[in-house]
Structure 1
Amino acid sequence: MSNSRHSSRRRFLQGMAAVGAATIIIPSSQRAFGFQNANDRPKFATIGLRNQGWTITSKTIPFADFVALADVDAGILEDNVAKVEKKQGKKPDSYKDYRKVLDRNDIDAVMIATPDHWHTKIAIEAMYAGKDVYCEKPLTLTIAEGKLIEKVVKETGKVFQVGTMQRSECDSRFLQAIAMIRDGRIGKVQKVTCGINGMTGSPEIPVAEVPSGLDWDFWLGPAEKVDYRALPEMRKGYGGGVPLYSNGHYSFRNWHEYSGGKLTDWGAHHVDIACWALGASDSGPSKVTPLEYELACEYKDGNPVVHDRYNVATKFKIQADMPNDVEMIITSEGDNGILFEGTEGRFFVNRGKIVGKPVEDLKEKPLADDAIELVYGGKVPANHSVNFIESMESRKQPVSDVWSHNRMLEVCHLSNIAMRLGRPLNWDADKREVVGDDQANSFLSRESRKGYEIQMG
């Protein structure tokens, strides 16, 4: 990118940072002039456009030009091209095959919001194609994928932001919680409980006709080739327009072939904040124990014995032994959020509230004026996307980097493996492998389907 483009972007981002955590509303007539010269705006593309794909794209349009979109569903692709054109005033190019996006030399960064089993392949190939990457959470399907992404980030020097928006948004409640922990407001932390909700299983889901416009084989990609399954009842609300029960959208998170259930969905948010607060973002657990759990179908040797229904955990209570003798509980019961307990008090935080006596005590003894900024590492930007663009400018890794994300996600992946095998797992956080359990270690990686291997370099 040219020096003039860097300079213009720097002036723009300095203005954005000054806004802090306030919501930015830019009239549509001004969106094309986010920089003094439209040619100075970074060029973006989004790969994977349902739900979260549109969310991150729409949040980023005030700060970047989207010149391309890609999705394997023709209907979703067409719909999002129209929405982006309306929002930014210029029509993006569209592709079914994400590789055509990566082939373009005019694109600075890609935003990835595909199902989880595609994340690693696209992200690595994007970095080797010279793009910075913003990838939705959970970043990986396996622990080995996380290690591989770390290697490529280091090798290419690309900026890589994970889409754990709780680090930058939600009215700074989570940043306040971390600041309180660091300031000793509950003494020494002894226990942290992450409530991430459970889910219901499914009935038997029959083989069904692939929806019109969807390239099912390409959707499966690195995963094993299987039939499309769905029941006719449609999902309502968020994720609507798709079957309530299927092995595709929106329900792909309920299958270990494509995701990790609630453990990696909501766990990627709350376990992340908990690890950040505990100072465990560069380490990990020593042991993960499944205390109570129910799987959505029968398992044998760590694998589901049927393939016509959901197979992730529906209910669970997991204990992770964290550094400094802190007990972490990950549970499907109770309020969604994080409860911190220490020698001198306790408080609870989620996306709607932060409550407890230590919070009430802030009225008489507030945190230091710069406490939130010290946690974040600078002024909190308008949103997570702005942090990514700021990092593209500085060439420093963003607040949600791959290393801290992978370390906390290891807790979630190990929890799933422990439930699948029905036993505790001792974890060597330095070697990043299960101690003395070859079967458990076999679940740390997964082979890609022939023709969909990751193209390295």
Structure 2
Amino acid sequence: MSQRFTERRSFLKTTAAAAAVGAVPYFVTGSNVRADEQKATESNDRPLVGCIGTGSRWNSVGPNAMHLGDVVAVCDVDANHAAAAHKKVTDIQSKKGVERKVDIYEDYQKILERNDIEIVTIVTTDHWHSKIAIEAMKAGKDVYCEKPLTLTIDEGKKICQVAKETGRVFQVGTQQRSEMGLRFLQAVALVRSGRIGDVQNVAVAIGGAPTSGTIPVADIPNGLNWEKWLGQAPMVDYRWRLDGKFAKTRCHYEFRWWYEYSGGKLTDWGAHHVDIAQWAIGQSGEGMGATSIEPIYAKHPVELKDGMPVQDDQYNCATEFHVKATFDNGVVMDIKNSHQQELGFDNGIMFTGTEGRFLVNRGKLVGAPIDALKDNPLPENAIAEIYGGKDPAANNAHMTNFFECVKTRSLPISDVYTHHRALTTCHLSNIAIRLNRSLKWDPKSQQIVGDDQANAMQSREARKGYEVTV
């Protein structure tokens, strides 16, 4: 048994104070990863990877994948991103002694057509995820896709359907399930083991979207295929304005704050924290989820009509919000941009039960139930059981879990089915605040009850030529 595993096993067993939890680094790239790479290279069993979408977030996802597989193709509708990714891949793989030709594509279909590519990473804008993921699975590829997985509830239904039909391994990039010092795994284990009694409330703080003011129409940058970037979304003008050191735009990174391409903070951070919360309270399985969604308040930077923005020249996602989701097990989840005023935190999850409460976020795990672990630790295997019996202490844990599941054909820790259920709560919350009314949800039939207009917002009309078919 390696020294590192012994140390981590001891940590999991004793589960001392939050300070000890916080001491574990987010990403560890130590000797174990290099040994795994060397072993895989010697046995010539490293899978070949194609990377679809190579913007800012890919700079983490891509190198993590290269610890375990060899990238042979990169693809992006922005030629500048694709060229930078090509250089990064060749530099990293050359240093490891991997001499492979790396192709550059603008059209992701070129990657899906290649029989040698077994795995694809999808790190595009949110509104492109579902179409690429469905076609990748149907092309026989295993998929690692960044969160949030979908733009609509209907897309999640379709992805789950195709995943079942094809049997492909699919990991969603919700790294909180694997990393962040194992704080979130420990939080789930604490709730599941009854350390706070019966859960009554889960308060989730995820931040609000920024505002932009008016963004003028601008020339499309050289190398960007704007029409393909829009894909399923309506054809609109490219907009860009420099604001200090940062750009306000309809495009790269800032797409998060437009309902046409994303869901604001309710899906950007909700995909992380709501996911952990529903996992902990046992509401992420098939047929489970919130039964009612009540919008307490919401603030948007533009006027909405029938839930749709009436302006197209500035960010339109909610800057402030409070949504109350009630589950059939009696747990109430309060989802807000901030709980600072009443609970004292701007980001994180507060679990409250009949016998105590605690807070978890990416920086800390605190509360009386955490302090009590010094004298009454969790069982030695508690976190491993939460992690599906696999090693939660692995280097590069989330990507390692995915590659292991590709080999074993087992379900990864962040599967599409549980992610879809958590993201459904986020999508329903957005529908509720956009229409400014409460919704009744049937998690078994996955339908909004008695509200045709709200039900219609489960899907979107794709631009001709970009339809999603299953």
Report if TM-score (shorter chain) is over 0.5: yes
Q: Tell me which amino acid in the other structure corresponds to 1:193.
A: A
Match of 1:252 in 2: 255
Provide the secondary structure at the position in 1 that maps to 2:457: helix
Aligned partners of 1:399 and 1:15: how far apart in 2? 25
CA distance in 2: counterparts of 1:269 and 1:146, whole angstroms: 16
Q: Which of 408, 417, 438 does residue 394 from structure 1 map onto?
A: 408
What residue number does 2:306 align with? 301
State how far apart, in whole Å, the 2-side matches of 1:182 and 1:30 are: 35
Structure 2 counterpart of 1:24: 29
Q: Superposition pairs for residues 11-160 of structure 1, below 5 Å?
A: 23-26=28-31, 33-37=38-42, 39-89=44-94, 90=99, 92-160=102-170
Which secondary structure does the structure 1 equivalent of 2:371 belong to? helix
Aligned to 1:195: 205
| 1:411 maps to 2:425 | yes
AA partner of residue 271 (structure 1): V
Distance 1:29 1:143, change over 3 A: closer
Tell me, in whole angstroms, the C-alpha distance in 2 between the residues paired with 1:435 and 1:357.
40
CA distance in structure 2 between the aligned counterparts of 1:57 and 1:444, rounded to whole angstroms: 32
Provide, for residues 342-400 of structure 1, a one-character-per-residue CA deviation record: whole Å limited to 9, x for no partner: 00000000011100011001001111111110111122132210110011011112111
Distance 2:83 2:5 in 1: 34
CA pair 88-184 structure 1, distance change in 2 beyond 3 A: same
SS in 1 for 2:297: strand
Structure 1 segment 145-224 matched on structure 2, within 5 A: 145-224=155-234
Is it true that 1:351 corresponds to 2:372 in the alignment?
no
Kindly indicate whether residue 266 of structure 2 is the aligned counterpart of residue 279 of structure 1.
no
Instruction: Tell me the amino acid that sits aligned with residue 434 of structure 2.
Output: R
RMSD, aligned α-carbons: 2.1
In structure 2, what is the Cα distance between the partners aligned to 1:377 and 1:36?
27
CA–CA distance in 2 between the matches of 1:81 and 1:316?
41
Letter aligned with residue 116 of structure 1 = D
Q: 2:380 matched to 1:375?
A: no
1:450 counterpart = 2:464: yes
- Pair 1:229 & 2:232 matched: no
1:56-100 deviation line (CA, Å, top 9, x unaligned): 111121111011110011111111111111111145211111110
* Cα distance between partner residues in 1 of 2:139 and 2:39: 26
SS of residue in 1 equivalent to 2:223: coil
The answer to whether the 8 A contact 1:47-1:53 is kept is no
Deviations 1:385-417 (A, max 9, x none): 011001101111211111100001011000000
Aligned residue for 1:232, secondary structure, equals: strand
Give 2:444's aligned residue: 430
Provide the rounded CA distance (Å) in 2 between the counterparts of 1:88 and 1:28: 14
**Stretch deviating more after TM superposition (59-68 or 109-118):** 59-68
- Which structure 1 residue ranges, 5 or more long, are not aligned? 1-13, 237-242
Tell whether the 8 Å contact from 1:32 to 1:38 is kept in structure 2 after alignment: no
Q: What percentage of aligned pairs have identical amino acids?
A: 51
Asked if structure 2 preserves the Cα contact closer than 8 Å seen for 1:34 and 1:63, the reply is no
State how far apart, in whole Å, the 2-side matches of 1:256 and 1:148 are. 20
Q: C-alpha displacement at 1:425, in angstroms?
A: 0.5
> What is the rounded CA distance, in whole Å, between the counterparts of 1:18 and 1:268 in structure 2?
32
C-alpha spacing 1:259/1:163, structure 2 compared with 1 (3 Å): same
Which range moves more in the overlay, 345-354 or 53-62? 53-62
Provide the rounded CA distance (Å) in 1 between the counterparts of 2:39 and 2:150.
Answer: 33
Distance 2:450 2:328 in 1: 21
Tell me the distance in 2 between the aligned counterparts of 1:449 and 1:72: 17
1:26, 1:62 within 8 Å by CA — same for their partners in 2?
no
Q: Which SS does the other structure have where 2:351 is aligned?
A: strand
Aligned length: 436
Give CA-to-partner distance per residue, 1:202-238, whole Å, 9 cap, x none: 21111110111100001001111111011133655xx
| Alignment check: 8 A CA contact 2:431 2:457 kept | yes
Q: Structure 2 unaligned segments of length 5 or more: list them.
A: 9-23, 341-345
Question: In structure 2, how many angstroms separate the alpha carbons of the residues matched to 1:28 and 1:332?
Answer: 37
TM-score in terms of structure 1 length: 0.92
8 Å Cα contact 2:209-2:317 kept in structure 1: no
* Aligned twin of 2:268: 265
Q: What SS does structure 1 have at the residue aligned with 2:240?
A: coil
Equivalent position of 1:9 in the other structure: none
> Matches of 2:265 and 2:34 in 1, distance apart?
40
Give 1:343's aligned amino acid: T
